[in-house]
Structure 1
Amino acid sequence: MRTAYRVETVRAAERALMARLPAGTLMARAAAGLAAACAELLRPRLYGARVVLLVGSGDNGGDALYAGARLARRGAAVTAVLLNEERAHPGGLAALRAAGGRAAGAAGAERLIARARLVVDGITGIGGRGGLRQDAAGPAAAAAEHGVPVVAVDLPSGVDADTGEVHGAAVRAALTVTFGAWKPGLLVDPARALAGEVRLVDIGLGPELPPEPDLVAFDDADAAALLPRPEAESDKYRRGVIGIAAGSARYPGAAVLTVGGALRGGAGAVRYAGPAGGGVIGRYPETLVSEGRPSEAGRVQAWVVGPGLGGGPEAAATVADVLAADVPVLVDADGLHSIDPERLRARSAPTVLTPHAGEAAALLGTSRDRVESARLASVSELAVRYGAVALLKGSTTLIAEPGPGGPEGRGRVLANTTGTPWLATAGSGDVLSGLIGALLAAGLAPLDAAALGAHLHGLAGRAAPVPPMASTVTEALPGVWAALSPRR
């Protein structure tokens, strides 16, 4: 599990730790980790390798300078480009010069970068807000233009550490070396896409950080711990019965794909209610099919409603019928057009919403661009406004819940990082809905079910033959499940 903390929390932990340590200890630890990471990228020949440090003011620039001093002592040709000469970290600058490195002004930065094997971004780090200033944007652009790999110090300069938002020019790193703890922006696009590979350097902050992080990303061990497993006395009903209200005459495939996701999600039984029963039975004869209203289909432990329903009064009536059930409900796709915040808050059972950015924009009354540029704020706002667990699909899938005090407070937020662009294919979201629905029916808490479903879905997207289809993603799920499960 990767736990991420906001800048204010990290700064407080640093202050608490520094009060008990000799001056300069944390910066020395950070510089040592940064230098080691740079040395690995410069292998097999570190001696004589040209390294350019882009140095801003403050501690971030100090980390870069001290790391540069370590590289210089090992034979690298290190030059620090001082973007603000008067405010460069004095101790770091002295250490670099004593080790044989040199400093230069910003005027000749592009020429130096063009000849370099590595650029270290020590411009702003986690304290920066807004895009790069013009004097820093030029050197950052030169590194990209000349194809020189960049190592970012703590966070790529120009991105927001707390939100992952990018407002203006920013550094694109091949590697980000972050210190003490992950920052939310390293897990959330668009900033995540600029961070490249991320390496965490332990500088001793762990005991000073609060137990509740601001953002969490699952790993395989977390997913494996949540996987439902039948016991000796389990039967199909105890394993979880999921109801699916999906599909229409125009979109019968949505029903098939949603049912497939539920069956491959470990459901003990699937009840399908809708007009696409023939296609569902033809593909999955295990399904219990009915043509009446969802409430007449029989007892279930959870419902999925929305994929392929289409529009109009009939679809709205189906959504209303499902939401009247006193069981967890996942609402996706066309079902999202027929919900309102007051009705969802009044439900006695939990609700999960799974919109993509366009659907989220409609639910929030904003633009798609705003949702995609401020994904963390958008998913939290969805959860609070609708009193539901919200899963925002996209390049970074984020899952948020309302706060423990009710819909008025913000709750936990999880990030899924297993996804792949190949999952941007028709019907993929229907498979995800069925998968999460099965996990809800198995008894998982809504946030856990959504996070585990997204994790499994992403792994299946990677495992499916390229180029994948929604149906091949479905068929890749058993292999993913087996890989995460302990040996029988």
Structure 2
Amino acid sequence: MRSAYSVETVRAAERELMARLPEGALMQRAAAGLAAACADLLGRVYGSRIVLLVGSGDNGGDALYAGARLARRGAGVTAVLLAPERAHAEGLAALRRAGGAVAGVEGAEDLIPRADLVLDGIVGIGGKGGLRPDAARLAPVVETSRAAVVAVDLPSGVDADTGEVRGAAIRADLTVTFGTHKPGLLVDPAREYAGSVRLVDIGLALPVEAELEALQHADVARLLPVPTGESDKYRRGVVGIAAGSARYPGAAVLAVAGALRGGAGAVRYVGPAGDAVIARFPETLVSDQGPKRAGRVQAWVVGPGAGDDAASVAEVLAADVPVLIDADGLRLADAGAVRGRRAPTLMTPHAGEAAALLGVARESVEEARLESVRELAGRYGATVLLKGSTTLVADSGGGAVRVNPTGTAWLATAGSGDVLSGLAGSLLAAGLSAVDAGSAAAYLHGLAGRFAADGAPVGAHDVADGIRGAWRDVRAG
């Protein structure tokens, strides 16, 4: 599992470590890892041209010391000082001793286009509110250059704690981060500025509980239900699907497809699309008598393609089993009924649906995804899976927010969310908590989409068909 910690937590760990180390030792550790990453990216250090963009903080010091190491290996290194009077004095002296040059910001626009590598040390993890004008002017110059771009700890201009990007920011090919990941490196829109991320261990002692978690294969494999010799279809769990309408029968078919591949022993379908469901999946237990008369289930999925069927949504919310609410169900669900539920509730909005639930513009959710998913979870007393370029899962009780590392932009296709709902609902019925069911489903769904696409367009049915391959891949480690 990859963990990310807030700036406050990282700063406290750094202070504790620096108190036990000789002065400057922690920065030297960071600079050594940074220089090694730059050398790996360059391939050949000797004769390469490197430009350091140096701000006034410790990130600037890291960049200067790393530049000195690269200069001693034969690189031509020039430091562009954005705040010359506040540059890290010892780091600057080390660069000069190694043969590095120094320039003012006015020379950067000539130096950057000729560079093989640009090292972004403008702003560190404490930066807030976007770049200042001199630095902001350099962001498009860096982005249009041919140079490889390496960010020190995180790209300048992104918020380390929230992943927000306010204005111009440096877009990196590689971010070398120290001690631990920062939330902004895992959450869009900041994540897309980070490029590949390389973690350098500098010896920080961090708390057990992080602000953000990203599951990996081994974590998901431990969560997935596996039948035993004593299992039958009822012991494995039965998931109910209340979805679809005369206008949207495909949503029901796709939600059932996801559910059948999600580990539960049986799927009960309730709704007007029974004929379409049976034609595609004859193993489904179909009823048209409403959720109350469908028979026993261990979890419900309600909402995909449901149109205006508020009665079914209300019946499902009244059930004393875990419930997943998606799509039309989010619009039709009574907020008080959701908050009053005793059994677990998992809500799965995309950014537009989340914006409607919060009463804000869609752009506000997309710009502050971490804040939005936490706000929704707290407001509704539910676990919330916020779909999108970065899928996040937050619990109303607080704790670490889960961020999904799998997926592909090809998953932005009609019906993909219906498959995810069925998959997550099946995992709920199999006994997983709402957080684990949402996290594992998002992971498998993203992996299935990636496998199914393989660089080409896919439909939602392709994603559903890919779940078994993703499941096997996760179990195989």
How far is the alpha carbon of 1:280 from its aligned partner?
0.3
Which residue of structure 2 aligns with residue 16 of structure 1?
16
CA distance in 1, matches of 2:334, 2:91: 57
Contact 2:217 2:475 in 1 (8 A): no
Which residue of structure 2 aligns with residue 407 of structure 1?
none
Unaligned runs of 5+ in 2: none
Unaligned runs of 5+ in 1: 404-409
Which residue of structure 2 aligns with residue 31 of structure 1?
31
CA distance in 2, matches of 1:308, 1:109: 54
Which residue of structure 2 aligns with residue 458 of structure 1?
446
How far is the alpha carbon of 1:342 from its aligned partner?
2.1
CA distance in 2, matches of 1:242, 1:229: 16
Contact 2:154 2:194 in 1 (8 A): yes
Which residue of structure 1 aligns with residue 7 of structure 2?
7
Which residue of structure 1 aligns with residue 129 of structure 2?
130
CA distance in 2, matches of 1:399, 1:264: 21
Which residue of structure 1 aligns with residue 353 of structure 2?
359
**2:465 counterpart (461, 471, 475):** 475
What SS is found at the alignment partner of 2:52?
strand
Which residue of structure 2 aligns with residue 372 of structure 1?
366
How far is the alpha carbon of 1:134 from its aligned partner?
1.1
CA distance in 1, matches of 2:102, 2:45: 20
CA distance in 1, matches of 2:400, 2:231: 32
Q: How does 1:167-178 map to 2 (within 5 A)?
A: 167-178=166-177
CA distance in 2, matches of 1:212, 1:63: 28
CA distance in 1, matches of 2:176, 2:91: 18
What SS is found at the alignment partner of 1:485?
helix
Which residue of structure 2 aligns with residue 242 of structure 1?
239
2:258 paired with 1:256: no
CA distance in 1, matches of 2:364, 2:476: 42
What SS is found at the alignment partner of 1:152?
strand
Whichever residue aligns with residue 263 of structure 2, its letter is G
Whichever residue aligns with residue 474 of structure 1, its letter is A
What SS is found at the alignment partner of 1:250?
coil
What SS is found at the alignment partner of 2:396?
strand
Whichever residue aligns with residue 275 of structure 1, its letter is P
Contact 1:340 1:386 in 2 (8 A): no
How far is the alpha carbon of 1:79 from its aligned partner?
0.3
**1:402 counterpart (371, 396, 403):** 396
**1:298 counterpart (270, 295, 300):** 295
**1:339 counterpart (325, 333, 343):** 333
Contact 2:209 2:399 in 1 (8 A): no
CA distance in 1, matches of 2:357, 2:372: 10
CA distance in 2, matches of 1:471, 1:139: 45
Structure-2-length-normalised TM-score: 0.98
CA distance in 1, matches of 2:451, 2:334: 37
CA distance in 2, matches of 1:412, 1:71: 38
CA distance in 2, matches of 1:149, 1:398: 30
For residues 427-463 of structure 1, the C-alpha deviation after alignment (integer angstroms, 9 at most, x for no partner) is 0000000000000000001100000000000000000
Contact 1:143 1:149 in 2 (8 A): no
Which residue of structure 2 aligns with residue 448 of structure 1?
436
Whichever residue aligns with residue 445 of structure 2, its letter is H
What SS is found at the alignment partner of 2:395?
strand
What SS is found at the alignment partner of 1:126?
coil
How far is the alpha carbon of 1:472 from its aligned partner?
0.6
Q: How does 1:87-486 map to 2 (within 5 A)?
A: 87-205=86-204, 208-311=205-308, 315-403=309-397, 410-465=398-453, 466-486=456-476
CA distance in 2, matches of 1:57, 1:140: 17
CA distance in 1, matches of 2:216, 2:408: 15
CA distance in 1, matches of 2:255, 2:184: 32
Aligned residue pair count: 475
For residues 161-193 of structure 1, the C-alpha deviation after alignment (integer angstroms, 9 at most, x for no partner) is 000001111110000000001100000000000
Whichever residue aligns with residue 480 of structure 1, its letter is A
Whichever residue aligns with residue 40 of structure 2, its letter is E
CA distance in 1, matches of 2:229, 2:75: 63
Whichever residue aligns with residue 483 of structure 1, its letter is D
CA distance in 2, matches of 1:130, 1:34: 26
Contact 1:341 1:385 in 2 (8 A): no
Hey, which bits of structure 1, 4+ residues long, moved more than 3 A? none
Identity, % of aligned pairs?
Answer: 71
How far is the alpha carbon of 1:317 from its aligned partner?
0.6
What SS is found at the alignment partner of 2:79?
strand
Whichever residue aligns with residue 77 of structure 2, its letter is V
What SS is found at the alignment partner of 1:467?
coil
RMSD: 0.9
Contact 1:402 1:412 in 2 (8 A): no
Which residue of structure 2 aligns with residue 406 of structure 1?
none
How far is the alpha carbon of 1:486 from its aligned partner?
4.4
CA distance in 2, matches of 1:306, 1:262: 14
CA distance in 2, matches of 1:58, 1:182: 19
